[in-house]
Structure 1
Amino acid sequence: MQYDSLNSFLRTGAKALAQGPVALIFAEDDVEVDGTIQHHLNLGFKSLVVFMPQEFSLEPALADRIHRVTLTCAPRTAVFETINKVMKAAPDVWMYYCYNTEYLFFPFCETRTIGELLAFHSEERRNSMLCHVVDLYADDLTAAPNGVAPDRALLDKTGYYARTRHDTDGHPLERQLDMSGGLRWRFEDQIPYERRRIDRIAIFKTQPGLELRPDHTFNEPEYNTYSCPWHHNLTAAICSFRAAKALKINAGSNSNIQCFRWSNSTPFQWSSRQLLDLGLIETGQWF
């Protein structure tokens, strides 16, 4: 199905939001849009809603399996405004959001669906799931000058850090962490401070009054926690070329970066096992 605007989708696309989990994918540019869609179709989402400009092309076989909504994902606040409008239209539904060149991985995702994951997570009385945005980058920027190379992707195997999050008065927030690492840490002088965190509550269950803020956190504090008080919970990862792409597209940083590879780079295996071994996702009590 294709819709010429967000308002048109919200008026006539109720079926796409009737049953979760629903994936919301935002195409900021035309890089790897097909690959991003195909990856998330393979995870078992009930619906994929893809927001993209009219002029972006899409493989016909994929177009028949998604709901395409015409939208320009700029300025960046447009994405958050869109998600909040969709949430308001579909309460009590599991949702996930990402951008093109991003790929969701969760424990055992090769053999278990996103629906199975969230059924278990719901039984643990959790309405949100912490995701770590793991930066991917091309091994050779001469061959892939935009930093995107799915068939030759690298990631950092070390260099990830967690800091306790504080409120505006400086008090620690319970079970909330600010995560850093990857390209955003190694090239932090090229990235605005507010864009350096790699934690994102990208999987959540909608409810009345819930709002997503531009820093990828919610107005409901419990949604921003990494686990419940009594034991550890599942976490997921969004493996993303987005930072690499931004660093190479931006004129201010492009000329300063000739290579993303360093001594702690390792080939990305496109598997949840690798992410589990590196400690970038956790199973919690899910075996």
Structure 2
Amino acid sequence: MRYPSLTELLDRKRTALGKGPLSVVLAEDDVEIGSTLDHQLACGFRDVLLLAPEGVQVSPDHETRVHIVTHDVFADGALVAAVNQVIAKLPGTWLHYCYNAEYLFFPFCETRRVRELLTFHAEERREAMLTYVIDLYAGDLGSSADAVSRTDTWLDRSGYYALARKDPANDWQPKERQLDFFGGLRWRFEEHIPYPRRKIDRISLFRAKPGLKLLPDFTLSDEEMNTYTCRWHHSLTAAVCSFRTAKALRTNPGSRHAIQTFLWPNSVRFDWHSQQLMDLGLMEPGQWF
């Protein structure tokens, strides 16, 4: 069903949406909108919101199963502002957010649904989950000019690293259980990426609560919710496998002609399976077996 604004949707469907879990997808363009929505529905989200420009075309199935909201997707910080609006209206609801051509993977997601994941995570007294944004890219840029291909999909198997996250309010001392993560295309082609956008970590699965805010760097205003693990053992993490950086590098005039291929010796084909991501150390099952 379509809605003229996010405000109207939240006012009309607040009770139903509050049952969660809820996925918010912002469509920056028309690339892989259908596959993104299919993936979110397959993950088991009770409701999926698509924020898109007026007139966006989706399949008849998505017209009936997805809440399609007319939204100014080109406004500065459009996704962050929308997520904060949802947080304010739906306290207590588990939320996920992403862009089109991004796909959430979590341990054992082929046989378990996101509700099971979040139930276990909540039982471990966790209200948020760290997700790593793993860059995907087409192997043949001649056939896929925008670097997006679901059948010729590659990722980096190495080249990821973390640095201590410093606290400017505490004499730049490292924050407890918080790290800044880097790697993928944003590391290999960093000359084309503004420094504030080089991190690959997001807190993109969390439970909304009064006063909570999503910040422009995709962390939350509650510092404990930004930690990668709890104090007593390793916690679950997940991955957002994303064509967004590759797509941007191939469409931006400043980088398009400087990049002939994204492949390098540490490229490996992506098999679209959570086990591969766990084997590469790109997400952590924690105590969930």
Q: TM-score, length-normalised on structure 1?
A: 0.98
The reply to whether residue 211 of structure 1 matches residue 213 of structure 2 is yes
Question: What residue is the counterpart of 1:118 in the other structure?
Answer: 118
Question: What residue is the counterpart of 1:158 in the other structure?
Answer: 158
Residues 145-191 of structure 1 show CA distances to partners (whole Å, capped at 9, x for unaligned) of 11111111100000000111001131100000000000000000100
Question: What residue is the counterpart of 1:18 in the other structure?
Answer: 18
* Structure 2 residues not aligned, in runs of 5+: none
* Aligned partner of residue 50 in structure 2, secondary structure: strand
Q: Distance in 2 between matches of 1:97 and 1:7?
A: 17
CA contact (8 A) 1:16 1:67 kept: no
Residues 10-49 of structure 1 show CA distances to partners (whole Å, capped at 9, x for unaligned) of 2212144221110001101110000000011101111101
Question: What residue is the counterpart of 1:67 in the other structure?
Answer: 67
- After superposition, residues 179-198 of structure 1 pair within 5 angstroms as 179-198=181-200
Question: What residue is the counterpart of 1:227 in the other structure?
Answer: 229
CA contact (8 A) 2:18 2:92 kept: no
Q: Distance in 2 between matches of 1:60 and 1:246?
A: 29
Question: What residue is the counterpart of 2:269 in the other structure?
Answer: 267
4+ runs of 1 displaced by more than 2 Å? none
Question: What residue is the counterpart of 1:91 in the other structure?
Answer: 91
Q: Distance in 2 between matches of 1:84 and 1:217?
A: 12
Cα RMSD, aligned residues only:
0.8
**Match for 2:259 among 222, 233, 257?**
257
Displacement of 1:5: 1.0
Displacement of 1:271: 0.1
Q: TM-score, length-normalised on structure 2?
A: 0.98
* Aligned partner of residue 154 in structure 2, secondary structure: strand
Q: Distance in 1 between matches of 2:175 and 2:204?
A: 19
- AA paired with 2:227? T
Q: Distance in 1 between matches of 2:254 and 2:15?
A: 44
The reply to whether residue 143 of structure 1 matches residue 137 of structure 2 is no
Report which stretch shifted further, 200-209 or 168-177: 168-177
* Aligned partner of residue 25 in structure 1, secondary structure: strand
* Aligned partner of residue 9 in structure 1, secondary structure: helix
Question: What residue is the counterpart of 1:177 in the other structure?
Answer: 179
Q: Distance in 1 between matches of 2:198 and 2:53?
A: 27
- AA paired with 1:275? L
The reply to whether residue 245 of structure 1 matches residue 231 of structure 2 is no
Question: What residue is the counterpart of 2:128 in the other structure?
Answer: 128
Q: Distance in 2 between matches of 1:241 and 1:36?
A: 11
The reply to whether residue 106 of structure 1 matches residue 106 of structure 2 is yes
* Structure 1 residues not aligned, in runs of 5+: none
